[in-house]
Amino acid sequence: MKNTLIKTERLSKSFSSGGAMQHVLKNIDLELYKGDFTVIMGASGAGKSTLLYALSGMDTPTLGKITFGDKVITDLSSDGLALFRKEHCGFVFQQIYLIDTMSVLDNVLAAGLLVSKDKKALATRARELFKAVDIPEETINKFPTQISGGQAQRAGIVRALINSPEILFADEPTGALNSKSGLDVLDTLTSFNEQGQSVVMVTHDMRSARRGNRILYLKDGIVMGECDLGKYTPNNEERHKKLSEFLTRMGW
Amino acid sequence: MYRNILLARSNIRKAKGQTAAIIVLVLLSSLMMNLWLMLSMDYRKNFERCHDRLNDGHVNIAAYVTDDEFKNFISDTLEERTDITDYTVSDAFCEPMSFEYNGGEISQLGVLLEKEDALSRNVGRFEITEDSTYKSGIYLPMLYGTGNNYSVGDTVKITLLGEDFEYTVCGFFNSAMNGSHNCGMMALLLTEDKFNEFSEEAAALKSVYVSARVNDISKCEEIATELKDETAKEFPDVVVTSNDYKLVSTSRYISQMICAGILSAMAFLVLLIGVVVIASNIANYIQENMQNLGALKAVGYTSGQLVSALLAQFAGVSAIAAVIGTVLSYCVFPAVNEMMIAQTGIPYSVRFQPLPVLFTIIFITGIVSAAVYFSAKKIKKIEPITAMRQGISTHNFKKNHLPLEKTSLPINAALAMKTTLSGLKQNITVCVTMLVLSLVLVFSATSFRNTIVDFQPMVEMIAGEFADSAINVNPNREDELVSVLENDSRVEKFYMFTNNNMEVQHVDGLSLFVSVVGDCSKMNNQSMFIEGRYPKYGNEFSIAAKYAKDNDIKIGDEIALKVGNSEEKYIVSGFTQCSNNLGKDCVITREGYEKISSLPNVTYYIDFAEDIDIDDFNSELSDRFGSDVNAIQNIQSILESTGGVYVMLMTFLVIAIVIISCIVIIFVMYLLVRTMLNNKKRDYGILKALGYTTTQLVVQTAMSFMPSVIISSAVGIAVSMRLINPLMAVFLSGIGVVKGTFIIPVELCIISGIVLVIFAFGAACLMSLRVKKIAPRELLIGE
């Protein structure tokens, strides 16, 4: 029996565009479970990132309800949502979004100090996480512009995890990286998921999607289907085949 | 050219708020600059025009004698002098007089003339500015018809020779040299019947009043001294008083001088802030638009064209703002003019003055253009390829300021400090603004303390000695007066202080107004002695610091003074400061004065215990001493009435300065916060995504300005408190002030500084509310 972490009911999001309403998400009923590595796939414009940002409280839906645990986050103000994000969520962005004027370590601590006042404990945890994502000590005091894209994205993951969030959201985390760096980032996410970290990742890359145990496919703002791939193991052809068939069925 | 205008227009469209803020700063500066120029140029010339129109004298002399022998002597003397071009001799009464004005009392040497005679004088003509059907009464200087003072038909009670005379106000007149209580001698015109009546009733000492025009105005002081000297040789017993063009033209325009000085300082300070803000904006513009500028260079724009576009943008905006500012200055000028007239007493018609307008527009546009040119020069260093590739990320972050791991500051404060430490341009702009505003606030606080709350320090600095009351009696009743004062429990202190238009001549120098003092240690205004000490012995005197400076006189020098034909040498014991005679004063002991002359009468200054009715006391003395009282004054009342004009002026200026300071802070903060939000929009989005609330980010933004705000305000307040008195001395140097002696209200200055910091923080918070509009979802990049 899986524990539900996030539940949506009739979740809709519309944007006004040139006087006409564009319905990006349409009445989505969805449950996300604790410990899962959920992957949201779909073509460009399907509403993947919009769904991710709504689920994470980064954006508010036009209609519907999102419940996180037993808390309805759709009722929260923008400051309420900010508090919700800092307490429960971590984010990894496609464009990384580290603050250029702060060192890599400070980028992580700026997120951590929002929740905890214990600088020493935070710095220790940050160093453990940096070690876990294979960022050497001498790099953490550099500025984001002085390190590689892969290192920066892994530092972004450390920032997302510094507060031990209940759920980690990742929006195309390998989108701005080369193949090797992208793989390192995926390994990092997989590794944390194996340690129990819930992950929701948006991607349109099949190689990335394979890391998830649950695949949701979005088309025109509707969850068209889902696929349970089971636990990730490297070089598992059966999982690869299952995912390919699912995506083919979905019209990928 | 057209391309430059297109670029400039595009820049302005992109930064409407920034353009509006710069317009406001330049507009304020140009408004004040044009007002300053109008007050300094044409307004001052108005006196010359009035003087010329009335063919007024450059030297006026009142001699307390009327016999034909004297008249012939003075006429012959004036005829013989080649430096006198024309003159008029009239019969008059010259007496110390007082009457109610502005809620207090005016006391001045009055020159009473017969109206028709005064109007028909060839030199020193008077003109009626308001007449009536009243045929019997008095005409007052038009100054006293302004505000809530006298109107035609009112009764004015004038105290002359210890007696009260009541006259109906028939109208008002204008006179350049005798039209206010700042002229040394103030004229009053009596209708023929009242003039004759006064002559019979008062048994007044009739005088000769002479107005003479000279061919070299710069010599008028020397000529007045020489005329008095020549008179003293022939008529040693005749008391002669005088005023001259330089004294009157300066003392009638003290408020104009103060107002113009403050306006010019404010205009330049606000312009300085505007220029720093513009320079900072251009630096930011180059940083923000590095890639665009690189692209424009790549398609063929030269650096010169790009700089010219910025010049067109900022110089164009500044020129327009300067034009609007000068137009607005004409809307404000009538109100300023009303205030000035209340002090100058000379009517002035506001009219268009092209020279100040042109100067204001050209100067401001020129300064802004120079600032733009020097700030935009770095465009020349931008290589198209480098700029297009790296754009804004060409920063070289050499140091991670305030590592979060090590700082003990709370996270919001630490992030704010990081922003502060990495924002050099922002800090420079904030520092310049706060330093300037600290100075003007300290000036306001000091003016508030020393004029509006308590006028005494202003009096001490510019008006010399003061007390509660003063009584002038004939010498034969002096002992009795002293006995009365000694035995009256209401009297706290009294001392002999005689200075009713008495003069001594500095041999080989000018005539100096002299104050003869019984015991200088009893004087209330010890700060009048700004260097050395007051005279203690019969061979000492202290001299006005300005006169000493102009004539290279030092403490310890031996100077010859004379009255009439008697001459004696005295040692300079110290320097005094008093603006009553534009810094041509001296203080001497009674023993010292009596070596060269006897006192025709004596004045005693009296201080009372609390809650004593000064007027009641004065009435009692007046009744007791009767015709032996030459003058009795309620000095506090005089200070109230004459000081009222300055208090009103300073109140207006302080309010204006505080309002302008608030506007400047708001607009500077708007520009800085706007620039910061634009530059760091992405960072704000990231922080919001991480869970920072709008409130936290607003406070962080405002706090990032606070270190430079607090440090520069503290430094500015501390330095300004030390600078304010020297600056006051510079402002008032024209009237004889060489050392500012204002009380520095330390607490008020500190409170002003704290209010300044809080206001800046509030303004920054208010402007930072735009953070609310930055949504984390803006980080979302496509699907």
Tell if the CB–CB gap between A97 and B682 is shorter than 8 Å. yes
Q: Answer whether A63's CB lies under 8 Å from A108's CB.
A: no
What does the alpha-carbon distance between residue B257 and residue B354 come to, in Å, rounded to a whole number? Answer: 21
B91: its two tokens:
């019969």
* C-beta neighbour count of B555 within 10 angstroms: 15
Tell if the CB–CB gap between B691 and A82 is shorter than 8 Å. yes
**Burial annotation B745-756 (CB, 10 A radius, 16+ → b, else e):** beebbeebbeeb
CB of B483 within 8 Å of a chain A CB? The answer is no
SS (H, E, C) B418-470: HHHHHCHHHHHHHHHHHHHHHHHHHHHHHHHHHHHHCCHHHHHHHCCCCCCEE
What does the alpha-carbon distance between residue B572 and residue B562 come to, in Å, rounded to a whole number? Answer: 15
Q: Answer whether B177's CB lies under 8 Å from B27's CB.
A: no
User: pTM of the full predicted structure?
Assistant: 0.79
In sequence order, what are the beta bridge partners of B138? B169, B190
Contacts of B777 in chain A (CB under 8 A): 53, 58-59
Residue A238 burial (C-beta neighbours within 10 Å; 0-12, 13-18, 19+): exposed
Confidence of residue B1 (pLDDT cuts 50, 70, 90): low
Range B755-766 average pLDDT: 94
Confidence of residue B387 (pLDDT cuts 50, 70, 90): low
- Asked if the ipTM is above 0.90, the reply is no
- Look at residue B27 and tell me whether its pLDDT is greater than 80: yes
- Give me the sign of the Cα torsion angle A175, A176, A180, A182: negative
- Look at residue B394 and tell me whether its pLDDT is greater than 50: no
Range A53-69 average pLDDT: 91
For A203, which DSSP code?
-
- Give me the sign of the Cα torsion angle B93, B99, B101, B106: positive
Tell me which of A113, A124, A139, A158 to substitute to probe the interface with B (most B C-beta atoms closer than 10 Å).
A113
pLDDT of B386 reads 64
pLDDT of B205 reads 63
Tell me which of A23, A99, A202, A204 to substitute to probe the interface with B (most B C-beta atoms closer than 10 Å).
A99
Query: Rounded to a whole number, what is the distance in Å from the CA of A83 to chain B's nearest CA?
Result: 6
Contacts of B782 in chain A (CB under 8 A): 44, 49
Q: Which residue has the tokens 């949502």?
A: A81
What does the alpha-carbon distance between residue B241 and residue A169 come to, in Å, rounded to a whole number? Answer: 95
3-class secondary-structure state, position A7: strand
Residue B410 burial (C-beta neighbours within 10 Å; 0-12, 13-18, 19+): exposed
What does the alpha-carbon distance between residue B442 and residue A91 come to, in Å, rounded to a whole number? Answer: 51
Whole-number mean pLDDT of chain B? 86
**Phi, psi at residue B559, to the nearest 5°?**
-125, 140
What does the alpha-carbon distance between residue B94 and residue A42 come to, in Å, rounded to a whole number? Answer: 106
Confidence of residue B44 (pLDDT cuts 50, 70, 90): confident
- Look at residue B329 and tell me whether its pLDDT is greater than 50: yes
Tens-place pLDDT, residues B83-118? 999 999 988 888 878 888 877 777 788 899 999 999
CB of A77 within 8 Å of a chain B CB? The answer is no
Instruction: Tell me which H or E stretch contains A110.
Output: helix A104-112
Contacts of B422 in chain A (CB under 8 A): 101
Chain B residue with minimal CA distance to A49? B783
3-class secondary-structure state, position A141: coil
Closest CA to B54 of B238, B178, B221: B178
For B142, which DSSP code?
G
pLDDT of A224 reads 93
B503: its two tokens:
């003069």
Range B435-458 average pLDDT: 89
pLDDT of B109 reads 83
* Max avg pLDDT among B63-72, B134-143, B381-390, B618-627: B134-143
For A142, which DSSP code?
S
Q: Which residue has the tokens 């041509």?
A: B584
Least confident of A51-65, A232-246, B309-323, B768-782: B768-782
In sequence order, what are the beta bridge partners of B504? B512
pLDDT of B649 reads 82
- Look at residue B153 and tell me whether its pLDDT is greater than 70: yes
- Look at residue B508 and tell me whether its pLDDT is greater than 90: no
Q: Measured at the alpha carbon of residue B458, what is the angle toward residues B221 and B605, in degrees to the nearest 5?
A: 80
Least confident of A101-110, A227-236, B635-644: B635-644
Instruction: Tell me which H or E stretch contains A158.
Output: helix A149-161
Contacts of A106 in chain B (CB under 8 A): 400, 403-405, 418
pLDDT of B98 reads 83
Tell if the CB–CB gap between B686 and A79 is shorter than 8 Å. no
Kindly state the greatest CA–CA separation across chain A.
53
In percent, how much of chain B has pLDDT > 90?
37
Range A82-90 average pLDDT: 91
Q: How does DSSP assign B346-373, residue by residue?
A: --------HHHHHHHHHHHHHHHHHHHH
Tell me which of B733 and B759 has the higher pLDDT.
B759
3-class secondary-structure state, position B417: helix
Confidence of residue A117 (pLDDT cuts 50, 70, 90): confident
Tens-place pLDDT, residues B544-593? 888 888 888 999 999 898 887 788 899 999 998 877 677 788 999 999 99
- Look at residue A244 and tell me whether its pLDDT is greater than 60: yes
Ordered alpha helix ranges (H), B189-302:
192-201, 220-234, 245-251, 254-288, 290-298
Tens-place pLDDT, residues B191-249? 999 998 888 775 556 788 999 999 998 888 888 888 888 887 888 777 788 888 988 88
- Look at residue B305 and tell me whether its pLDDT is greater than 80: yes
Residue among B415, B683, B691 minimizing CB distance to A86? B691
Size of interface A-B (CB pairs under 8 A): 111
- Look at residue B783 and tell me whether its pLDDT is greater than 50: no
Range B261-289 average pLDDT: 88
Q: Give strand ranges (E) for B127-202.
A: 127-130, 138-141, 155-160, 163-174, 186-190
Query: Rounded to a whole number, what is the distance in Å from the CA of B777 to chain A's nearest CA?
Result: 6
CB of B1 within 8 Å of a chain A CB? The answer is no
- Look at residue A218 and tell me whether its pLDDT is greater than 90: yes
What does the alpha-carbon distance between residue A134 and residue B16 come to, in Å, rounded to a whole number? Answer: 48
Instruction: Tell me which H or E stretch contains A28.
Output: strand A20-33
Tell me which of B400, B405, B683 to substitute to probe the interface with A (most A C-beta atoms closer than 10 Å).
B405
In percent, how much of chain A has pLDDT > 70?
100
Chain A residue with minimal CA distance to B422? A101
CB of B418 within 8 Å of a chain A CB? The answer is yes
**Phi, psi at residue A192, to the nearest 5°?**
-65, -35
Tens-place pLDDT, residues A24-49? 999 999 999 999 999 999 988 889 98
What does the alpha-carbon distance between residue A105 and residue A110 come to, in Å, rounded to a whole number? Answer: 9
Residue among A45, A110, A143 minimizing CB distance to B783? A45
Tell if the CB–CB gap between B689 and A91 is shorter than 8 Å. yes
Chain B residue with minimal CA distance to A107? B404
CB of B683 within 8 Å of a chain A CB? The answer is yes
- Look at residue A122 and tell me whether its pLDDT is greater than 50: yes
- Give me the sign of the Cα torsion angle B373, B378, B381, B382: negative
Chain A residue with minimal CA distance to B693? A79
Residue among A49, A103, A123 minimizing CB distance to B783? A49
Tens-place pLDDT, residues A151-192? 999 999 999 999 989 999 999 888 878 888 888 889 999 999
CB of A35 within 8 Å of a chain B CB? The answer is no
A202: its two tokens:
């948006």
Closest CA to B501 of B514, B488, B489: B514
Closest CA to B180 of B125, B245, B130, B110: B110
Tell if the CB–CB gap between B782 and A58 is shorter than 8 Å. no
Contacts of B687 in chain A (CB under 8 A): 99, 110
pLDDT of B495 reads 93
**Cα radius of gyration rounded to whole Å, chain B:** 33
Tens-place pLDDT, residues B697-747? 999 999 999 999 999 999 999 999 999 999 888 878 777 788 888 999 999
pLDDT of B43 reads 85
- Look at residue A61 and tell me whether its pLDDT is greater than 50: yes
